[in-house]
Amino acid sequence: MSYSHKQQRKFWSRREFLMQSGGGMAGLALASMLHRDGVFAAEAGSQAAGPGGAQCSAQLPGAFAAKAPHFAPRATNVISLFMSGGPSQVDTFDYKPALTKYAGQSMEDLIGEKFAVRQGMPGPLMPSPFEFKQHGESGMYVSELFPHLARHVDEMAFIKSLYGSSNDHIQSTYEMQTGQIRMGFPSVGSWVTYGLGSESSSLPAFVVMNDYRGGPLGGPNDWGSGFMPASYQGTLFRSSGDPIVDLETPAGMSERQQRARLEALAKLNQLDMEKYPGNSELAARIASYELAYRMQGCAPEAIDTSSESEATKKLYGLDAAITEPFGRQCLMARRLVERGVRFVQLFMGGVGVQNTDTWDAHSNLVENHTLHAAESDLPIAGLLTDLKARGLLDSTLIVWHGEFGRMPISQRGVGRDHNPGTQTAWMAGAGIQGGQAIGASDEFGYKALEQRISAHDMHATILNLLGLDHEKLTYRYSGRDYRLSDIEGKPIPQIIA
């Protein structure tokens, strides 16, 4: 941020100050981390939390404590790869020869069902313009869009029957993220953080990175904590420039000076808390300052990818312009997971121009999917390879999906409209059984048909792999014990090896 001399001379009103210094200050509404009091007091006289040094990996008082899962987990960390805009299942992983056989025919006539599409201009059945081949020992079909991922099919479990209940981006994104199409519910990352706590005292437990072009539709609610304390929401790292701004202590301020201010701040907020007992937001605010203080010392190393070897950078595609942005995010995800971040979520595709900058291929399927696959195929394959080489793949669950799939019929002859009827998601890592297809869509890839998987089922599966009983992980709100999996989700049984 830079401000002109003239602006700097002006004394700002409280309102102006808040507007200027935050932008998103509404998001500052922090809530309880249910901490014991005296977050700073607990460390009084100790240099333990000072920026830098060996403390970056230590569990210190004041962070989210790690919590024991309900049963032995398959994985301890999650990297969620959210393909914003909605990739087409029938052009990626769900091979449908019937689209060629019935090319140009009316799907409504063939299935005897009228349907509505989101934008209109529906056309006839449209074969995939991309060639499919079988890969790996398992013979999973992958289209030519993903030549690098295709080499990993034996590690990937394809869920070919993930359906949703809205035809709109935002509602569908909320559904895949929270289980509900309405806003205001905790995201899957929040639930995982709530259930398992943090492994790191110096980095947030739940980190989100958006596409370099912008964030997904739905905005911060996509990684919000809903009715849970706001400290469970995802912490957004920037995807270009410095991932975290204002990380450095200002020039001219010593660590001791800053510490004095923080200690005074904690004491004053503590006095406030005594005046308003039960205001757990205050405790969370105190804790967020403590985390901020530690991040100054530990986060610069965590987000600095320059120390990675050339071979590793190449593995993620940092050497090519097309793969560099998402490759950097994938590499960052590995570094964060290595350092104890519980849940990392990367959004691939972001709002600039919706139909070209996300997977939302209404207007030109070939151009759109060719671009986004080229941007993400090698980096994701690199991530799988790297995690495996470092022994992290077994303890890390990788989840890939969008908000919905796309229609098997054409739109304007060249695109595909939204289709919540089915999409293909895949999971890897976490000791899952790779090289398998779970569920199936119908002949045209229009609707989930066999072993239909809802967002609730997917969420129950994720919790299950993390050692959390999705029926026991509840949060009481508005007189009800809410679950991420609601009242109907069930873990996918055959995903476990």
For another protein, the binding residues (CB under 8 A) are: 1, 3, 8, 11-12, 14, 17-18, 20-22, 24-25, 27-30, 204, 230-231, 233, 235-236, 244-250, 257-258, 260-262, 264-265, 267-269, 271-272, 276, 281-282, 285, 288-289, 291-293, 295-296
Report the distance separating Cα 202 and Cα 303, nearest Å. Answer: 12
Report the distance separating Cα 101 and Cα 103, nearest Å. Answer: 6
Query: How far from 223 is each of 5, 173, 184, 293, 352, CA to CA, in Å?
Result: 38, 10, 10, 23, 19
Q: How far is the CB of 448 from another protein (least distance, A)?
A: 37
Report the distance separating Cα 102 and Cα 422, nearest Å. Answer: 20
Neighbours of 60 (CB within 10 A): 18
163 vs 206 by CB, closer to another protein: 206
281 vs 375 by CB, closer to another protein: 281
83 vs 286 by CB, closer to another protein: 286
DSSP notation for 375-396: HHHHHHHHHHHHHHHTT-TTTE
Nearest to 62 by CA among 263, 320, 304: 263
15 vs 476 by CB, closer to another protein: 15
289 vs 347 by CB, closer to another protein: 289
Q: Where are the alpha helices (DSSP H) in 219-348?
A: 255-275, 280-303, 310-315, 324-338
Neighbours of 197 (CB within 10 A): 17
User: Which tokens sit at 285?
Assistant: 């605010």
Report the distance separating Cα 463 and Cα 75, nearest Å. Answer: 10
User: Residue 457 has what DSSP assignment?
Assistant: H
50 vs 431 by CB, closer to another protein: 50
273 vs 427 by CB, closer to another protein: 273
CB proximity list for 316: less than 8 A, separation 6 or greater: 323, 327, 328, 330, 331, 378, 379, 382, 383, 386
Q: How far is the CB of 278 from another protein (least distance, A)?
A: 13
Query: How far from 477 is each of 31, 228, 298, CA to CA, in Å?
Result: 14, 8, 35
Report the distance separating Cα 355 and Cα 366, nearest Å. Answer: 12
Q: Which helix (H) or strand (E) holds 438?
A: strand 436-438
Q: How far is the CB of 342 from another protein (least distance, A)?
A: 15
Q: How far is the CB of 79 from another protein (least distance, A)?
A: 20
Contact 51, 295 (CB under 8 A): no
Distance of CA 365 to the CA centre of its chain: 25
Q: How far is the CB of 236 from another protein (least distance, A)?
A: 7
In one-letter notation, the amino acid at residue 377 is: D
Q: How far is the CB of 276 from another protein (least distance, A)?
A: 8
Q: Where are the alpha helices (DSSP H) in 151-230?
A: 169-178, 188-196
